[in-house]
Structure 1
Amino acid sequence: MKILVISAASVFLALGGTAVAQTTTVVVPGEVKTYVMKQETPSVMFEGDVAVGTTLPDTVEIHTIPDQPDYGYVVVNKKRVLVNPKTRAVIEVVQ
């Protein structure tokens, strides 16, 4: 019985840590979103879902945002997404 309780607690803690990591949010300045929404950038195709945390391949060109080195953007599958230009990870789906 003790082994079962310890195993269940271990699984709970492992899953709990994962859930906390996934709920981390990045607060993006409003001017970044405004800039991205005004740009007329063609959409690129990407197989699969584009969601927060998705890492975009090197073949997808990330566009820079003036005076905002921590943010980039790309239009993927007709959705505007903000990207961390260093990691290529999607940080927010704007539209």
Structure 2
Amino acid sequence: MNKVLTLTAAAFIATSGLAFAQDSVVIEVPQSARDYVIAHPADPVVIEDELSQGYVVPQNIVVRPIPESPGYGYIYVDGRPVIVSMQNRRVVYLTDTYGDVPGEVITYVERNPVDTIIIDGPVATGTVIPENVPLVAVPDQPRYSYVYVDDGRPALVDNGTRRVVWVR
């Protein structure tokens, strides 16, 4: 029973924007900050360690500020938005999802490869795919299409903006 309650509480916290700081203080990340981070993807950074709540982001990684929430900044790691306290560089919010992209969409894209295309410059979260590049629709997901880029990596694209929202 205790495991069920713990898992239920963890699920609530993961979806509500609440996070526990290192000293077990609950931090509520404003919805506006989470919305901003999803709407403004950044180039991904590489973190070798296991990323979790309370992790201190190394000084050599640039944390972008969130304009309407000056106490917070963000980075993208593996296509996932990560919100960081600007005071101590600790991770205060991250999810197991890729922004608002459902996991089954990622699974579909990875299980249905297409011919690779070459795009000038690096392809990362936030890259705009040129209009002349054909996109492949994701069935039952009118918001998304995809391509495989450069070295055979899948990239999920928002149909409205042609921006990459996830890339392996």
What is the TM-score with the length of structure 2 in the denominator? 0.42
> Which structure 2 residues correspond to residues 1-95 of structure 1 after superposition, within 5 A?
16-17=65-66, 20=73, 25=81, 26-77=99-150, 78-93=152-167, 95=168
Helix, strand or coil at the partner of 1:34: helix
User: How far apart are the structure 2 equivalents of 1:28 and 1:52?
Assistant: 12
Q: Tell me which protein shows more helix as a share of its residues.
A: 1
Return the offset for 1:59: 1.3
Deviations 1:11-56 (A, max 9, x none): xxxx734685766842311111111111130000011010111101
Select the structure with the greater relative contact order (CA < 8 A; seq sep ≥ 6).
1
Amino acid at match of 2:138: I
Identity, in percent, stands at 36
Task: Compare 72-81 and 21-30 and name the one that shifted more.
Answer: 21-30
Cα 1:20–1:85, aligned 2, differ >3 Å: closer, same or farther?
Answer: farther
1:43 and 1:67 map into 2 onto residues whose CA distance is 23
- Number of equivalenced pairs: 80
Cα distance in 1 for residues equivalent to 2:73 and 2:101: 20
> If the length of structure 1 is used for normalisation, what is the TM-score?
0.72
Q: Measure the CA separation in 2 of the matches of 1:55 and 1:21.
A: 20
CA distance in 2, matches of 1:63, 1:71: 9
Deviating 4+ runs (over 6 angstroms)? none
C-alpha distance in 1, partners of 2:166/2:156?
A: 5
SS in structure 1 opposite 2:117? coil
Q: Give, in whole Å, the separation in 2 of the partners of 1:35 and 1:61.
A: 18
| Distance (Å, rounded) in 2 between the aligned partners of 1:45 and 1:61 | 12
SS at 1:16 equivalent? strand
RMSD between aligned alpha carbons?
Answer: 2.3
